[in-house]
């Protein structure tokens, strides 16, 4: 069995996806799930040499740090709304399509919802229509771009063109960029454009108003459904385009966009507790610990909720770290003691202190 785990590690390195370019997005869309390997018992681990043991631990830390995406009720709810909005995307090209806005606080799974939806949609379209358009262009049903701080209108168009690897992205003027964009989206027959972290645009100032008008223009020009994701978008006046008072009523975005909220897990009701336990079971089953199992986290449900406030990002952080500690300390199971030693993100720690 010598070198077995070292072999593993070579193919088992963490994947680096750059989703904001078509090659990276394509890899993400078509990547097979990580191949699973056996979880060793304590006796089996005892038979490993020192190096094998280290390699095995490294391989399972990679495994444990990549928890599966769980079909939570939040995710299912968001999917059903995107599906519904896309249903009207079957309108003819001259008619306006709606957009979806995933609006929630940090760390609740917005990006996960958007990218997983995009992946499923992309695969489905390729299965149905093949990977080339009738004109022989690459068929790219989905484009994904995250926005960075202080993105201007020009920057947005450049990022979109960059996704397609369009050579004009760097050199074209502002007006030409928009023309190229309409062109490339048309020839690649893109149907869904996901723009993540749109909260980086401040819709209350001039740049924001310009951006808002541009997004409306794109929605008019392109036969595409937009999915936006970001933090506190309603407060940031994404929907009313930065307009206030009576003028806000005139904002077209509010009439065209469907808002999807994502809530943290709440254990106040029985149904909420059931959903929380379900995700803990799913994660517990996934983790590779000699004495761990799907039930390991269930008795810790209240404590884990207190520490993470039911936020999925804090939860995944906590579990990576807890399983690391369980391996290092040799407990090989996540227990009260292990949890007590884990530090989670700052917001989670502060939230737990308040409770």
Ligand X SMILES: Nc1ncnc2c1ncn2[C@@H]1O[C@H](COP(=O)(O)OP(=O)(O)OP(=O)(O)O)[C@@H](O)[C@H]1O
Q: Given candidates 20, 74, 99, 111, which one binds Mg ion under the rule CB under 5 A? A: 111
Q: Is 248 exposed, middle or buried (0-12, 13-18, 19+ CB in 10 A)?
A: middle
What distance in Å separates the CA atoms of residue 75 and residue 110, rounded to the nearest whole number? 9
Per-residue contact flags (x/-) with ligand X for residues 240 to 269, judged by CB under 6 A: ------------------------------
Judged by CB under 6 A, which stretch of 30-38, 64-72, 155-163, 297-305 contacts ligand X? 64-72
Tokens at 118, concatenated: 């995009």
Using only the alpha carbons of the chain, give its radius of gyration: 23
Give yes or no for residue 72 binding Mg ion (CB under 5 A). no
Judged by CB under 6 A, which stretch of 53-61, 103-111, 220-228, 334-342 contacts ligand X? 103-111
Of 190, 195, 174, 185, the residue nearest 238 (C-alpha):
195
Residue 231 binds: one of ligand X, Mg ion, none (C-beta under 5 to 8 A by kind): ligand X
65 in Cβ contact with 320 (< 8 Å): yes
200 in Cβ contact with 148 (< 8 Å): yes
Give yes or no for residue 109 binding ligand X (CB under 6 A). yes
Judged by CB under 6 A, which stretch of 1-9, 65-73, 125-133, 148-156 contacts ligand X? 65-73
CB of 258 to ligand X, least distance (A): 18
The strand pairing partners of 229, in sequence order, are 102
Residue 79 binds: one of Mg ion, ligand X, none (C-beta under 5 to 8 A by kind): none
Q: Given candidates 29, 48, 59, 75, which one binds ligand X under the rule CB under 6 A? A: 75
Chain center to CA of 307: 22
SS3 of residue 335 by DSSP: coil
Residue 106 binds: one of Mg ion, ligand X, none (C-beta under 5 to 8 A by kind): ligand X
Q: Is 175 exposed, middle or buried (0-12, 13-18, 19+ CB in 10 A)?
A: exposed
Residue ranges in contact with Mg ion by CB under 5 A: 110-111
- Residues forming contacts to ligand X in the complex (CB under 6 A) are 67, 69-70, 72, 75, 104, 106-112, 231, 312-313, 316
């Amino acid at each position: 069995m010598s070198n077995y785990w070292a072999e593993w590690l070579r193919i088992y390195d963490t994947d680096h996806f750059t989703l904001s370019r078509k090659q990276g997005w394509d890899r993400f869309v078509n990547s097979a799930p990580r191949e699973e390997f056996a979880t060793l018992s304590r006796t089996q681990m005892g038979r490993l040499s020192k190096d094998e043991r280290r390699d095995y631990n490294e391989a399972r830390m990679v495994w444990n740090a990549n928890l599966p995406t769980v079909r939570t009720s939040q995710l299912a709810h968001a999917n059903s709304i995107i599906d519904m909005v896309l249903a009207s995307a079957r309108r003819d090209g001259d008619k306006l399509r709606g957009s979806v806005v995933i609006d929630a606080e940090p760390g609740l799974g917005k990006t996960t919802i958007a990218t997983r939806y995009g992946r499923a949609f992309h695969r489905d379209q390729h299965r149905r229509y093949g990977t080339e358009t009738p004109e022989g262009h690459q068929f790219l049903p989905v484009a994904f771009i995250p926005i960075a701080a202080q993105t201007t209108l020009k920057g947005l168009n450049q990022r979109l063109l960059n996704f397609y690897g369009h050579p004009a992205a760097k050199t074209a003027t502002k007006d030409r960029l928009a023309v190229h964009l309409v062109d490339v989206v048309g020839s690649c027959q893109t149907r869904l454009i996901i723009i993540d972290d749109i909260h980086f645009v401040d819709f209350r100032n001039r740049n924001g108003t310009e951006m808002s008008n541009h997004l409306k223009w794109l929605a008019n020009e392109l036969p595409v459904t937009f999915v936006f994701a970001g933090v506190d978008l309603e407060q940031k006046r994404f929907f009313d385009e930065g307009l206030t008072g009576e003028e806000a009523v005139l904002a077209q975005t509010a009439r065209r966009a469907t808002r999807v909220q994502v809530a943290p897990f709440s254990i106040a009701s029985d149904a909420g507790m059931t959903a929380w336990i379900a995700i803990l079971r799913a994660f517990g089953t996934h983790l590779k610990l000699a004495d761990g199992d799907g039930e390991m986290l269930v008795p810790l449900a209240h404590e884990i909720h207190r520490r993470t406030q039911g936020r999925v990002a804090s939860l995944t952080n906590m579990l990576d770290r807890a399983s690391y500690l369980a391996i290092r300390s040799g407990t090989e199971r996540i227990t009260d003691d292990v949890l007590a030693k884990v530090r989670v993100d700052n917001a989670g720690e502060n939230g737990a202190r308040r409770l």
